[in-house]
Amino acid sequence: TARYRIGGGRAGNVPAGRISQVISKPLGVGAVTNPLPASGGADADGPAELRQAIPLRLAAFDRLVSVPDYESFARAFAGVGKAVARRVTDGRRPLVHVTVAAADDAPLDPAAPMLTALRSALRRYGDPGLPVLVEPCERVRLVVVLGVRTLSTSVPEKVEQRVRAALAARLGFDAARLAQPVHLSAVVAAAHAVPGVDFVDVDAFGGVPEGAAASEVARFAAHPSVVSVVPALPAGPRAVRETAGPEGTSAVVDSAHAPTVVLGRPGAPRSPARPAPGPARTLLRPAQLVLLDPAVPGTLILRRIP
């Protein structure tokens, strides 16, 4: 059975190298492919999304005066799932910084057509003398290692599945908010509310940058540390450091979320020493989104307590 797809929607956000056919093939073209991931696709709004978007569209009336107007306009824009606006300075002049995340947590490139259209719309309806900067958010991945003891009347495997689902719902993309931190108490409360859970014991809780290598995530989980809150920084000038990545690559990482031990549990071993990061630089960075993504290996580990 051959299946073909033509049209819009989030199903079109395919990885690089997945597009191999075109609707109409010009003369002389033998094959096609997409060297970069496709981004910006979003499904049509459902009833719940429309209830949220319609009041936002009426709030601005296509005339953006205050910073909340910019935020409401961006949140109601097609393809945008989350947005937050803030008045900042780039060191030379004030501007409005709008941080967005795509609907349904779809991948979003800084050069995506959706962001280009949003920038044009904000400039058209906003203050012509006030520059606007639109950027995708910085993600901070939560790492949770949790010991769970189930009641004697419950099946451990089923309880653990419900705990994973509860943590994903409480700390996942739908519940996450831009520039809002995640507290350890939220993890404990979500796990304790699951039927069949006797008690939980947090072995590790923290955040790592989205671009962190899998080895960094594994190192964090293997050398437990527990923090009371994982911060989500707002948009603005921040000190960042350039760290060496795998195979000679480099990445600009906010030092506030470096995967190191902040508050160790009694008797917990310290993380091994890592290469020193590069010198700090001050850059204008977007707001951060702290969330749990169970699909990322090693970010959610459950330990069964007998």
- DSSP code per residue over 211-257: T--HHHHHHHHHS--B-SEE--PPSEEEEEEEEE-GGG-EEEEEGGG
Q: What angle do CA 12, 72, 82 make, to 5 degrees?
A: 40
pLDDT of residue 28 exceeding 70: yes
Query: Residue 97 has what DSSP assignment?
Result: E
Name residue, tokens 């395919």.
Answer: 14
Query: In degrees to the nearest 10, what's the CA dihedral of 279, 285, 290, 291?
Result: -110
The pLDDT mean for the chain works out to 82
Of 202 and 281, the structure prediction assigns the larger pLDDT to 202
Q: Residue 38's pLDDT band (boundaries 50, 70, 90)?
A: confident
257 near 240, Cβ under 8 Å? no
**pLDDT, greater one: 71 or 91:** 71
Tell me what pLDDT residue 270 has: 40
Instruction: Please state the CATH superfamily assignment of the domain spanning residues 47-136 in this structure.
Output: ANL, C-terminal domain (3.30.300.30)
Residue 84: per-residue pLDDT: 96
Helices (H) and strands (E) in the chain, counts: 6, 12
Decide if pLDDT at 152 tops 90.
Answer: yes
Domain with CATH 3.30.300.30 in the chain: 47-136
Q: For position 223, what pLDDT does the model report?
A: 73
Does the structure show a pLDDT above 80 at 125?
yes
Higher pLDDT, 87 or 10: 87
Which is more confidently placed, 149 or 90?
A: 149
Structure tokens at 123: 């400039």
130 alpha carbon, distance to own chain's centre: 28
Banded model confidence at residue 17, pLDDT cuts 50, 70, 90: confident
Whether residue 13 has pLDDT greater than 60 = yes
